[in-house]
A and B are shown apart, each in its own frame.
Chain A
Amino acid sequence: MVRIIDRRFDSKNKSAVNRQRFFRRFKQQIRKAVADAIDGRSIRDVDNGESVSIPTKDISEPQFGLGRSGEWETVFSGNDQFAAGDEVDRPLGGAGGSGKGKASNEGESTDDFVFQLSREEFLDVFFDDLALPNLVKTQLAAIPEYKLQRAGFTSSGTPANINIVRSLRGALGRRLALGSPFAAELRDARERLEQLRLERAETDPEVEQLLEEIARLRAKIEGIPFIDKVDLRYNNRIRIPKPSTRAVMFCVMDVSGSMDEDKKATAKRFFMLLYLFLTRNYEKIEVVFIRHHTVAKEVDEEDFFHSRESGGTVVSSALELMKDIIQERYATSLWNIYGAQASDGDNWENDSPHCRELLADNILPFVQHFAYIEITPGEPQNLWREYEKLQGSHGNFAMQRIESLANIYPVFRELFKKTTA
């Protein structure tokens, strides 16, 4: 009459559709949460999942319920001090009077609804903002491929990887080593037996004793296991990520007074995307942050994005510093160098030609790629006009004006074309 059914291997993700619907429905909130998360996390850290919180009231499912005022007569358990007719202060028991909660399904708790976005979901939202084409999305989101490479032998592993020759060789050696004392004795005993047989009869007690001795020794030798756990050797394979070169990425940003938080946030996304791209192609990436106003300074990421400066702008100071750092630390034979510069284009008039020269002579010859983005809603500034002169002559230079986040991508298209070709 009773049926017992094993459903464990039935479809697992029955709720996947509902989960997707939830994400779609609250895309705005999730996007905002992701944007906040991006502002809060390091460039190198872009590649993880994220826990996202949405105010509970935004996702409530409203129903007609009762408010808390009016007259409520509620029964509680565990009376320890009251007699009928007592008057007591609110709330009861000083514990917040949660007993009344039962009648009210208002869901007044202000706690946020928190849930975890997986890495894929997080990147999805991140890419959505940047209007990346799908092909690129998959390239970026793909987990880097590893190739398995032989790396000698180990003494532990899965049975499938047992190396038979090695294992048997080990077993043979062990058998020889453990058996050799007995083998020597055996040989000795046999020789003595030969000798004795020439002299004595077969039934002589000494002969019999020797025969017994020989039998004992043979048993000993045979008792040594043919193969033992310690003999086993396994083929060892290690995973080596396919990209195997090193890169350094220079983030150069103008932090003068005219760069406000919004512009910095746009720049940050640009740097992040560049970093993501580089992680797909290089095993090891270093990031150098250079910020500048009238003077340039190498700083850590925190300072790079969050400290405020004011005053004029001399872009060449940053390029000088970049040049010096390349010469000091990053030999072009060992490093792939990428440069990304973000600015609002507002430079000291006489400095711009100098910048162009610096780039053309001292930087572009050494870098794989140099991208300049100008974050400004208005007319191109003087720096832009100077840089424009470089575009034709240098294949590894790209520049783009960015008004909104969606403009970031064209810069990358340039980059992808080159390196994926």
Chain B
Amino acid sequence: MKKRRSKPLPAPAEWTFELIDEYQREIARVAESFGLDTYPNQIEVITSEQMMDAYASVGMPVNYHHWSFGKHFLSTEKGYRRGQMGLAYEIVINSNPCIAYLMEENTMTMQALVIAHAAYGHNSFFKGNYLFRTWTNADAIVDYLIFARSYISQCEERYGEEEVELLLDSCHALMNVGVDRYKRPPKLSLEKEQLRQHEREEYLQSQVNDLWRTLPAHDVRPSEVQAVRFPPEPEENVLYFFEKHAPLLEPWQREVVRIVRKIAQYFFPQRQTQVMNEGWATFWHYTLLNTLYDEGLLTDSFMMEFLHSHTNVVMQPPYNVPWYSGINPYALGFAMWTDIRRICEHPTDEDRQWFPDIAGGNWCEVFDFAMRSFKDESFIAQFLSPKLMRDFKLFAVLDDDRKQKLHISAIHDEAGYKLIRQKLSDQYNIGSREPSIQVWNVDLRGDRSLTLRHHAYHRRPIGESMDEVLRHVARLWGFNVRLETQHEDGHVETLRELRFERRQPRTP
């Protein structure tokens, strides 16, 4: 216990701007003492309506218009009005300055909790983690969205809302195969985008014509022709491939494909760091507010309310209750970060054996290193401790559709720790959660049909919605499309072949 100040901050149920400022100053002070490095904060107070708006446009302050956002709005609104769900108490935007929303209806305690969680927890994670550093550009995202929105509404004016909507539908369908997983994307910047956009339109169109120019000269022998493959290497970013090479797209359509692709890329790190990021933010709101309490700045009633919602968030139900829906990323993340601190501060013999590098080390340094250099998959593989597996009573179940029964492959004991850790880590690997689909070949000499290849992993098939997605692929590509699966034993099976039908001219 440190020195307790005599006078705690007032904690009425109703917040005021002065109080928010006072709390946030104290939280900032403590955060700094722990060495949290953040973007400058911009805290915005909004109403629940506006929170639903923000929700519906995937949390972005501006976004282009599309019916799917309207759909999300309707379902959020319904859930909220009926009281089936509260709105999440925070939305935070990875931008510089980092924008965090506070909802008007929340109590002072909740506002303080959100400030600690979002404005200092998430914010420092956005700024530090390598994925966010490489894949997103916090300085430019808001500007880019403004550009995207105005560009798309220009297109709507020029080419009709329906035309643009169809294109966006197709792009959205390919969003999760529209990201670079390994290459580093170029920086986004509003001025550069606008400056280069026109140039790019012209240039791209001329590039695309390569497809046509590579038509064989008459004297080339067919066997040589067969050897040419396009693209020379399989391309994992399907949207990128379409942007650059789809033969029939208009320049503006390429630009729209690019916009959707950029936004998908922007969200890609979030999908890969859910456990780490939420755990990190939860750990810090817990630690920051507890430190303030130890200093005597927070009242007991404040802490009771805070702990009440904190425990709700980090609850991990067991597998056999009806409301079980997998491992709770907040619970796992929070437990892991807390556990790392424990390993540093009070290591046991087991910890020394499992984590010789960090046991007994300086926890702040270890935290900084771990936050910067990992994503969920590697974070779990690196830091999930046997103690935590015992606490969570983790066990791995093998569900093989060829077998009659489920097989318990490992539980939280000496023999199972490694396997559980590996399996849990694999569960957070995007590569195993989503099908790996690549652009395999274009039949340049023939009907220009496009072949996508799926690499099967553990015999997991592509889900039923593939037919619909393929129709979108065909719409973008403009010619026939084929989807094949390469099984783990190497043999290739054609799953679907979709003949492209030109859309009927609309009847007036």
Binding site for B on A (CB under 8 A): 1-8, 10, 12-15, 17-26, 59-67, 69-80, 82-90, 92-96, 98-107, 113-116
Let me know if B50 and A18 touch, CB within 8 A.
Answer: no
Nearest B residue to A14, CB-CB? B53
Query: With an 8 A cutoff between CB atoms, is B300 at the interface?
Result: no
A69 → chain B closest CB, angstroms: 4
7 further A-B contacts with Cβ under 8 Å, apart from A14-B50, A21-B65, are A15-B70, A24-B67, A75-B427, A84-B409, A90-B399, A96-B322, A106-B465
Known: A95-B320, A95-B321, A115-B75. A72 touches B464 (CB 8 A): no
Query: With an 8 A cutoff between CB atoms, is B460 at the interface?
Result: yes
Known: A64-B177, A114-B78. A84 touches B410 (CB 8 A): yes
CA distance A188 to B376 in the complex (A): 96
CA distance A98 to B395 in the complex (A): 15
CA distance A219 to B10 in the complex (A): 45
Contact with A along B8-47 (1 / 0, CB 8 A): 0000000001001100100010000000000011111111
Contact with A along B308-349 (1 / 0, CB 8 A): 000000001111111011110000000000000000000000
**Most chain B beta-carbon neighbours within 10 Å: one of A85, A96, A107:** A85
Query: With an 8 A cutoff between CB atoms, is B352 at the interface?
Result: no
Let me know if A98 and B324 touch, CB within 8 A.
Answer: yes
CA distance A18 to B106 in the complex (A): 27
Question: In the assembled complex, which residues on chain A have CB atoms less than 8 Å from the CB atom of B24?
Answer: 2, 4
Let me know if B423 and A84 touch, CB within 8 A.
Answer: no
How many inter-chain residue pairs (CB < 8 Å) link A and B? 290
Let me know if B52 and A15 touch, CB within 8 A.
Answer: yes
Question: In the assembled complex, which residues on chain A have CB atoms less than 8 Å from the CB atom of B119?
Answer: 2
Those 5 A-B pairs whose CB atoms lie nearest each other, nearest first = A78-B318, A22-B70, A18-B70, A70-B460, A93-B320
Binding site for A on B (CB under 8 A): 17, 20-21, 24, 28, 40-47, 49-50, 52-54, 56-57, 65-71, 73-75, 77-78, 81, 97, 104, 119, 161, 165, 169, 172-177, 316-322, 324-327, 392-401, 405-413, 415-416, 420, 423-424, 426-427, 432-435, 437, 456, 458-466, 468-469, 472
CA distance A105 to B466 in the complex (A): 12
CA distance A71 to B432 in the complex (A): 11
Let me know if B401 and A70 touch, CB within 8 A.
Answer: yes
Let me know if B53 and A15 touch, CB within 8 A.
Answer: yes
Nearest B residue to A12, CB-CB? B49
One of B393, B394, B405, B459 near A89 (C-beta < 8 A): B405
CA distance A73 to B75 in the complex (A): 32
Let me know if A5 and B406 touch, CB within 8 A.
Answer: no
One of B104, B395, B405, B406 near A8 (C-beta < 8 A): B104
**Most chain B beta-carbon neighbours within 10 Å: one of A61, A87, A101, A105:** A61
Let me know if A79 and B393 touch, CB within 8 A.
Answer: yes
Let me know if A77 and B318 touch, CB within 8 A.
Answer: yes
Let me know if A62 and B411 touch, CB within 8 A.
Answer: no
Question: In the assembled complex, which residues on chain A have CB atoms less than 8 Å from the CB atom of B469?
Answer: 62-64
Let me know if A12 and B461 touch, CB within 8 A.
Answer: no
One of A3, A66, A79 near B460 (C-beta < 8 A): A66
Report 16 cross-chain contacts, Cβ distance below 8 Å, ordered by A residue. A3-B42, A3-B97, A10-B46, A19-B74, A22-B74, A23-B70, A25-B165, A59-B71, A64-B174, A64-B437, A66-B463, A71-B460, A73-B399, A73-B458, A83-B411, A95-B324
Let me know if A79 and B395 touch, CB within 8 A.
Answer: yes
A61 → chain B closest CB, angstroms: 6
One of A7, A69, A86 near B44 (C-beta < 8 A): A7
Known: A25-B67, A70-B458, A89-B405. A76 touches B465 (CB 8 A): no
Let me know if B41 and A75 touch, CB within 8 A.
Answer: no
Let me know if B466 and A64 touch, CB within 8 A.
Answer: yes
Let me know if B45 and A64 touch, CB within 8 A.
Answer: no
A101 → chain B closest CB, angstroms: 7
Nearest A residue to B402, CB-CB? A71
Let me know if A73 and B423 touch, CB within 8 A.
Answer: yes
Let me know if B65 and A17 touch, CB within 8 A.
Answer: yes
Nearest A residue to B81, CB-CB? A116
Nearest A residue to B21, CB-CB? A4
Let me know if B462 and A75 touch, CB within 8 A.
Answer: no
Question: In the assembled complex, which residues on chain A have CB atoms less than 8 Å from the CB atom of B465?
Answer: 60, 62-65, 106-107
B317 → chain A closest CB, angstroms: 7
Let me know if B411 and A79 touch, CB within 8 A.
Answer: yes
Question: In the assembled complex, which residues on chain A have CB atoms less than 8 Å from the CB atom of B400?
Answer: 71-72
CA distance A394 to B73 in the complex (A): 54
B267 → chain A closest CB, angstroms: 13
CA distance A83 to B318 in the complex (A): 16
**Most chain A beta-carbon neighbours within 10 Å: one of B43, B50, B74:** B74
Question: In the assembled complex, which residues on chain A have CB atoms less than 8 Å from the CB atom of B415?
Answer: 84
CA distance A9 to B2 in the complex (A): 42
One of A76, A89, A113 near B71 (C-beta < 8 A): A113
Question: In the assembled complex, which residues on chain B have CB atoms less than 8 Å from the CB atom of A92?
Answer: 319, 397, 406
One of B177, B319, B426 near A78 (C-beta < 8 A): B319
Let me know if B165 and A21 touch, CB within 8 A.
Answer: yes
Question: In the assembled complex, which residues on chain A have CB atoms less than 8 Å from the CB atom of B396?
Answer: 73-76
Question: In the assembled complex, which residues on chain B have CB atoms less than 8 Å from the CB atom of A14?
Answer: 50, 53-54, 57
Question: In the assembled complex, which residues on chain A have CB atoms less than 8 Å from the CB atom of B411?
Answer: 79, 82-84
Let me know if B401 and A71 touch, CB within 8 A.
Answer: yes
Question: In the assembled complex, which residues on chain B have CB atoms less than 8 Å from the CB atom of A21?
Answer: 65-67, 70, 161, 165
B455 → chain A closest CB, angstroms: 12
Nearest B residue to A1, CB-CB? B40
Question: In the assembled complex, which residues on chain B have CB atoms less than 8 Å from the CB atom of A95?
Answer: 319-322, 324
B491 → chain A closest CB, angstroms: 16
Known: A5-B44, A82-B395, A115-B74. A88 touches B406 (CB 8 A): yes
